[in-house]
């Protein structure tokens, strides 16, 4: 889970969502106004900050990776 606080995104769980759309793999971008991830393709799938699919042609959530902060460095297990 990712939470936003005054423009800073904070990781609140050991999982971090992939930034590739579950539909056809186009990069998703963070929408600061709607606080979600939106695919840049014409289909425009949308995802919550946890990676759950909320709109668009994608039928699956974003893939999640294990993540941890280690001395201020974000480590993501691929
Ligand atoms: S690749 Fe994202 S909606 Fe199709």
Q: How far is the CA of 46 from the centre of ligand 1 (A)?
A: 9
Residue 78 has pLDDT above 70, yes or no: yes
What pLDDT shows up at residue 29? 93
Q: pLDDT tens, 37-68?
A: 999 998 689 999 889 999 999 999 999 998 88
11 is written with which tokens?
């990781």
Percentage of the chain surpassing pLDDT 90?
44
Q: How far is the CA of 39 from the centre of ligand 1 (A)?
A: 6
Higher pLDDT, 74 or 8: 74
What is this structure's pTM? 0.75
What pLDDT shows up at residue 75? 85
Calpha distance 12→21 (Å, rounded): 22
Calpha distance 17→30 (Å, rounded): 12
């Amino acid at each position: 889970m990712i939470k936003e606080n005054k423009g800073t995104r904070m990781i609140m769980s050991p999982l971090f969502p992939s930034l590739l759309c579950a539909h056809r793999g186009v990069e998703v971008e963070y929408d600061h106004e709607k606080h979600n991830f939106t695919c840049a393709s014409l289909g425009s799938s949308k995802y919550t900050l946890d990676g759950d699919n909320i709109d668009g042609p994608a039928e699956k959530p974003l893939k999640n990776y294990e993540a941890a902060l280690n001395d201020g460095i974000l480590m993501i297990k691929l």
